A = this chain, B = another copy of it.
Amino acid sequence: MPETNRPLVISAPAPRTLELIFSRKALDELNRRYRLIEADPENIASLGDATLAEVRYVIGQPPLDEATLARMPRLRAILNVESNLLDNMPYEVLFRRGIHVVTTGQVFAEPVAELGLAMALNLARGIVDADLAFREGRELWGGEGNRSARLLSGSEIGIIGFGDLGKALNRVLSGFRARIRVYDPWLPGSILTEAGVEPASIETVLSSSDFVFVVAAVTSENEGFLGAEAFSKMRHGAAFILLSRAGVVDFDALIAAVEAGRIVAASDVFPEEPLPLDHPVRRLPGFLRSAHRAGALDPAFKKMGKMVLEDMELMDRNLPPMRCKRAERETVARMRSRPVSVN
């Protein structure tokens, strides 16, 4: 394509990099199809009017004020390559103008779901402690070692939150013939039913599950909503697996419930990351730890670039983006998020 015909794209994926999210092949395609401007995310406004006037897409979520956006009349979409939406641009203006704001967080759904399933199986079978015991020559053989072991197959499973992550979890659980109940106040029951799961109240999910997976995003409304009362409703010995954000859980209450032997738990997220070296959860028996590693796999990052290319191709043809997730006018302000500091 001649230089002048290629649409203009502002590249501002920090803290990520184009190399992280595009494979070499995808990066070639990106460059072949678009003119890229690697801009200082903190200073988009400093780009000249002639440049801004041509911009069709922004990759990343740099701060943008209304005045700068007004200088970008051809802007079609902000392609946010983090999972969070920062409060650094006037979303209402974007929605009004019909500029799409899309996120690519669903790339993490598959790796997070796999880790979540692994955590559930680990808790059910005591795999970590059994391997440690084996290393140290104190392993128990056969049924002796299975006193508290149990199966996912045929169990009752609860999922809190049924976005991309919940759906991916449901998929990796599909071979287990389990009864799966879901609590998601943002979705109508019939959508859950069609997905093959049972809509349920948060109470039922907590009190009727052998395994509870938490994959709900933190919103302004649900911070810390899973606390002492929630854990007290759970079945004795049930497993609590936290995969989304530490903010939805009262972590001290979670630790207390595990310490008391009421439940077992696993978490990929923590109230502080990195966690202080003396934090009690570090050596808490009945607790499986993962250092925010659930999603951050290279194939997931590379999928981001692929999704961005696919949606830009649709928007180039004046079609709506169908691959990434669109921010919603109603909920954008409810998403309480912090910048990603580590990829």
Residues on A lying within 8 angstroms of B by beta carbon are 95-98, 110-111, 114-115, 117-119, 121-122, 124-125, 127-128, 130-135, 137, 139-146, 149-154, 171-176, 185-191, 273-274, 277, 282-283, 288-293, 296-299, 301, 306-307, 310-311, 313-314, 317-320, 322-323, 328-331, 342-343
New contact pairs (9) apart from A127-B128, A320-B328, CB-CB < 8 Å: A111-B151, A118-B121, A132-B132, A139-B289, A141-B293, A143-B296, A151-B299, A172-B175, A191-B323
Say yes or no: A114-B152 contact (C-beta < 8 A), given A175-B171, A190-B310: yes
Q: Which residues of B contact A130 (CB under 8 A)?
A: 289-291, 293
Q: In the complex, A190→B171 CA distance in Å?
A: 17
Of B110, B185, B329, which one neighbours A151 at CB under 8 angstroms? Answer: B110
Of B117, B310, B331, B342, which one neighbours A121 at CB under 8 angstroms? Answer: B117
Say yes or no: A176-B187 contact (C-beta < 8 A), given A135-B282, A151-B299, A153-B114: no
Q: In the complex, A251→B45 CA distance in Å?
A: 55
B313 to A188, Cβ gap below 8 A?
yes
B291 to A322, Cβ gap below 8 A?
no
Q: Which residues of B contact A283 (CB under 8 A)?
A: 135
A186 to B314, Cβ gap below 8 A?
yes
Of B145, B172, B310, which one neighbours A188 at CB under 8 angstroms? Answer: B310
Q: Which residues of B contact A291 (CB under 8 A)?
A: 130, 133-134, 139-142, 145
Copies of this chain in the oligomer: 4
A330 to B320, Cβ gap below 8 A?
yes
Of B110, B145, B274, which one neighbours A141 at CB under 8 angstroms? Answer: B274
A188 to B149, Cβ gap below 8 A?
no
Q: In the complex, A298→B187 CA distance in Å?
A: 25
Q: Show 26 residue pairs from A and B whose CB-CB distance is below 8 angstroms, ordered by the A residue.
A: A110-B151, A111-B153, A114-B153, A117-B117, A117-B121, A118-B121, A118-B122, A118-B125, A127-B290, A128-B132, A131-B289, A133-B291, A134-B282, A135-B283, A137-B282, A142-B292, A143-B343, A146-B296, A153-B172, A172-B175, A175-B175, A187-B322, A190-B307, A190-B323, A319-B330, A320-B330
Q: Which residues of B contact A307 (CB under 8 A)?
A: 188, 190
Q: Which residues of B contact A131 (CB under 8 A)?
A: 128, 288-290
> Main secondary structure on chain A at its contact with chain B?
helix
Say yes or no: A142-B343 contact (C-beta < 8 A), given A125-B118, A151-B297: yes
Q: Give the interface centre of A97, A317, A320 by most chain B CB atoms within 10 Å.
A: A320
Q: Which residues of B contact A319 (CB under 8 A)?
A: 186, 330-331
A150 to B297, Cβ gap below 8 A?
yes
B289 to A134, Cβ gap below 8 A?
yes
Q: In the complex, A274→B143 CA distance in Å?
A: 13
